């Protein structure tokens, strides 16, 4: 069910923005010198609109660098005063939030681990209540769109209208080339359910290495996201956290130069006309697909009745293995992505087994 929350567009709280929102700065603030030098370099690029810096760093295991703590807030104040850039940091509990607000930070974001806990989100919501701060909410570590939505709702119920979602990927369940699996379909579902929520991408945490930052950033714009949060450090080689995924300000500028910004609508009337033609064709094909699936369902039900009457199990693993192999080969011959075919027929087969077991239960 689509939820229409009264959430401001990014331009409402950043009226001078003329490009997609770009937030950049070190993963962690390490020293005053490192903070200020990085900020000065980033401020030279007018495509950077917000300076970010981790002050409290929740790490998976103890013993790693966990941030400089509250002193970093003073450095962020200095950045704002000297460069004029709005500044922001991650808050993981009520105390962090109170200190950040007292320091006059412009942007707070809730990290993936915190989003996964409704108790933590509610604590933060209680603190920001009655303010006009900007609160950004990263997706939870697992692809649970309802949990992500719930965090947005809790912040919104506190009276905050300046809310932004951050897609930073999900803990992978298998080996992938990325640090965190993008799982773009979760972002798509969030936008379907909360269509007026601005969402930006955090390619640094999806990639885990500089090598993949461009391709993920471009994908984000291709998907219609409204900006990026990219980690940048004056010298990533000596960064105390996430060194491999940070860019120098100069390299960040080079990446931005290569990115193609996509827009939701085009000013060309011919584009809209042709798009309508193609979408009408898609609608007709989808109707045919559903009619074909409906015919398949009727056959599945007949098979279920036949198996029931002959005391045969609903799941036939050999048949299922053969079916999947054949469908994948057929899909490949039609130039259809193998992963897509596997997921599609996994869903179809699971529902077929469900229907057959229900028929057997009617015995």
Domain assignment present for residue 247? The answer is yes
Digit-coded pLDDT (tens) for 54-112: 999 776 677 778 889 999 999 999 999 999 999 999 999 999 999 999 999 999 999 99
Q: Say if 170 falls within a structural domain.
A: yes
Answer yes or no: do 227 and 295 share one domain: no
Which whole-number Å values give the CA distances from 8 to 12, 24, 135, 159, 160, in the listed order?
6, 22, 11, 12, 9
The lowest-confidence range among 52-61, 146-155, 220-229 is: 52-61
**Comparison of pLDDT for 125 and 282, the residue scoring more:** 125
Q: Are 238 and 341 in the same domain? A: no
**How far apart, in whole angstroms, are the C-alpha atoms of residue 73 and residue 155?**
22
pLDDT of 357 higher than 80: yes
C-alpha to C-alpha distance for 169 and 167, rounded to whole angstroms? 6
CATH number at residue 156: 3.20.20.70
176 has pLDDT over 70: yes
Tokens of 6: 């009264």
Q: Are residues 176 and 294 in the same domain?
A: no
With cut-offs at 50, 70 and 90, classify the pLDDT of residue 27. very high
Q: How many domains does the chain have?
A: 2
pTM, two decimals, is: 0.81
Residue 114 maps to a domain? yes
- Report the pLDDT value the prediction gives residue 363, as an integer from 0 to 100: 61
More confident residue, 214 or 280: 214
Stronger pLDDT, 315 or 228, i.e. the higher one: 228
pLDDT: is 360 or 234 the higher one?
234
pLDDT at 299 over 70: yes
282 shares a domain with 246: no
| 38 in the same domain as 158 | yes
Determine the pLDDT at residue 264.
73
Which ranges of 169-316 does DSSP label H, i.e. alpha helix? 184-193, 203-207, 213-222, 249-258, 269-309
> Is residue 25 within 8 Å of 53, Cβ to Cβ?
yes
Domain boundary among 258, 277, 295: 258
pLDDT > 90: percent of the chain: 82
State percent of the chain over pLDDT 70: 99
Q: Are 29 and 54 in contact (CB under 8 A)?
A: yes
Task: Let me know whether 214 and 276 are in one domain.
Answer: no
In the listed set 207, 234, 258, which residue is the last one of a domain according to the structure? Answer: 258
Q: Do 204 and 242 form a contact (C-beta atoms < 8 A)?
A: yes
Query: What is the 3 state secondary structure string of 17-35?
Result: CCCCEEEEECCECCCHHHH
Residue 298: CATH number of its domain: 1.20.59.10
Whether the predicted pLDDT of 267 surpasses 80: no
Q: Which position has the higher pLDDT, 150 or 67?
A: 150
Q: Are residues 251 and 284 in the same domain?
A: no
- Among positive and negative, which fits the CA dihedral 297, 301, 306, 311? positive
Burial tier of 100 (Cβ tally within 10 Å: 0-12, 13-18, 19+): buried
Mean pLDDT is lowest, of 34-43, 174-183, 327-336, for: 174-183
- Do the beta carbons of residue 151 and residue 193 sit within 8 Å? no
The parent domain of residue 331 ranges over: 269-361
Average pLDDT for 109-136: 97
pLDDT score for 276? 82
Which residues, in sequence order, are bridge partners of residue 135? 108, 163
Q: Tokens standing for 21?
A: 């929102």
Assess whether 307 and 251 both reside in one domain: no
User: Do 123 and 146 sit in the same domain of this protein?
Assistant: yes
**Residue 2 resides in a domain:** no
């Amino acid at each position: 069910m689509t939820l229409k929350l009264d959430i401001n567009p990014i331009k409402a709280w950043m009226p001078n923005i003329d490009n997609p929102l770009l937030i950049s700065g070190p993963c962690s603030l390490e020293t005053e010198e490192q903070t200020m030098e990085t900020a000065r370099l980033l401020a030279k690029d007018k495509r950077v609109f917000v300076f970010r810096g981790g002050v409290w760093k929740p790490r998976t295991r103890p013993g790693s660098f966990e941030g400089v703590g509250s002193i970093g807030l003073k450095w962020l104040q200095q950045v704002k005063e000297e460069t004029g850039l709005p500044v922001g940091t991650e808050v993981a509990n009520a105390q962090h939030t109170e200190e950040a607000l007292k320091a006059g930070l412009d942007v707070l974001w809730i990290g993936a681990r915190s989003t996964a806990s409704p108790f933590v989100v509610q604590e933060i919501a209680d603190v920001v209540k009655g303010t006009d701060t900007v609160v950004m909410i990263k997706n939870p570590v697992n692809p649970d769109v309802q949990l992500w939505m719930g965090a947005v709702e809790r912040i919104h119920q506190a009276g905050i209208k300046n809310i932004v979602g951050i897609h930073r990927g999900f803990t992978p369940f298998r080996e992938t080339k990325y640090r965190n699996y993008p799982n773009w379909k979760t972002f798509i579902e969030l936008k379907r359910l909360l269509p007026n929520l601005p969402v930006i991408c955090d390619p640094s945490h999806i990639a885990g290495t500089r090598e993949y930052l461009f391709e993920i950033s471009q994908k984000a714009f291709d998907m219609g996201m409204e900006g990026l949060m990219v980690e940048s450090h004056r010298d990533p080689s000596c960064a105390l956290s996430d060194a491999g995924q940070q860019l120098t300000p100069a390299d960040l500028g080079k990446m931005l130069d290569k990115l193609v910004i996509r827009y939701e609508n085009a000013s060309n009337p011919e584009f809209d006309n042709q798009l309508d033609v193609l979408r009408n064709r898609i609608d007709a094909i989808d109707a045919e697909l559903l009619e074909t699936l409906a015919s398949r369902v009727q056959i599945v039900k007949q098979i279920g009745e036949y198996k029931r009457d002959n005391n045969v199990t609903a799941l036939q693993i050999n048949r299922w293995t053969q079916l999947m192999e054949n469908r994948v080969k057929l899909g490949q011959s039609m130039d259809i992505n193998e992963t897509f075919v596997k997921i599609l027929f996994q869903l179809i087969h699971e529902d077929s087994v469900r229907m057959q077991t229900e028929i057997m239960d009617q015995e």
